[in-house]
């Protein structure tokens, strides 16, 4: 099982946090920013300017152009501090080799289960890891770490650049009856803490528009508002999949 890991990056030419921890990860940057990224020591692959500016579009470009001899492509955020797992009450960060081995074995497991998409727990806190359910098959898989097996034909909906992770999770569950989430492992990213990337378009008005667009696509019985949230409008939806399972 051959794995390739890429991290799209947009208007963040400083040295990538992800590449500091995992230097083998290639950044995907648009041609007009390539020289600035290289000056800061980033290892990059250049995509057309037309592929950037929309998170879904650049992710689709990666899936359509960069598999080559790989069996699985993993798309990672460019501000990932670490990827780790819980073991004996300790939060252990994967080394480069450990991450590659983990991704290979997880991709094999995903394929053997009949799925084509896998990811990690979106919460780093130990309380989010339920020891008796180390795997989930109907759970949300967050955008900071998403793994696509080569045989998958599913692509990101370019009309949902701020809710692409919810949408692609639902697409896989609908088509393949599930996806694999590995609950004992997690990512640690600096979401909403940096300029560039999706922060350029992320605001309450846009988040509301994206929430209702996602809800219109999948229905109010599947995409629900979190009415228990302390926010006046929590734009992170609750997903209720109408299939029995975990």
Phi, psi at residue 86, to the nearest 5°?
-90, 135
Predicted pLDDT of residue 191: 61
* Cβ–Cβ < 8 Å for 53, 79: no
Predicted pLDDT of residue 196: 46
Predicted pLDDT of residue 34: 97
CA atoms within a 13 Å half-sphere pointing along the CA-CB vector of 31? 5
Predicted pLDDT of residue 193: 52
| CB contact burial 22-57 (16+ within 10 A = b; e otherwise) | beebbbbbbeebbeebeeeebebebbeeebbebbbb
CA distance 19 to 27: 8
Count CB-CB contacts under 10 A for residue 153: 7
Predicted pLDDT of residue 200: 56
Averages of pLDDT over runs of 10 residues in the chain (246 residues) are 97 95 97 97 97 96 97 97 91 96 98 98 85 92 98 98 97 97 93 53 86 97 86 85 91
Predicted pLDDT of residue 201: 62
Predicted pLDDT of residue 135: 95
Predicted pLDDT of residue 220: 96
Count CB-CB contacts under 10 A for residue 90: 9
């Amino acid at each position: 099982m051959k794995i390739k890991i890429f991290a799209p990056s947009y208007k963040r030419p400083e040295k990538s946090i992800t590449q500091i921890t995992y230097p083998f990860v290639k950044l995907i940057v648009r041609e007009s920013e390539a020289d600035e990224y290289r000056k800061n020591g980033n290892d990059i692959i250049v995509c057309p300017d037309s592929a950037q500016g929309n998170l879904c579009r650049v992710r689709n470009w990666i899936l359509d152009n960069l598999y080559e001899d790989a069996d699985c492509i993993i798309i990672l955020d460019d501000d990932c501090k670490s990827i780790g797992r819980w073991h004996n009450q300790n939060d252990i960060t994967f080394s480069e080799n450990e991450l590659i081995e983990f991704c290979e074995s997880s991709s094999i497991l995903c394929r053997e289960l009949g799925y084509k998409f896998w990811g990690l727990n979106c919460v780093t806190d130990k309380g989010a890891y339920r020891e008796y359910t180390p795997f989930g098959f109907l759970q949300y898989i967050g955008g900071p770490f998403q793994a696509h097996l080569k045989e998958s034909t599913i692509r990101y909906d370019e009309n949902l650049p701020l809710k692409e992770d919810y949408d692609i999770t639902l697409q896989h569950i609908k088509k393949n009856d599930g996806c694999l989430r590995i609950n004992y492992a997690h990512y640690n990213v600096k979401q909403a803490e940096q300029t560039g990337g999706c922060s350029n378009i992320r605001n309450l008005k846009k988040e509301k528009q994206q929430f209702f667009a996602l809800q219109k696509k999948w229905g109010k019985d599947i995409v629900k508002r979190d009415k228990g949230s302390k926010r006046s409008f929590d734009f992170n939806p609750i997903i209720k999949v109408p299939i029995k399972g975990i």
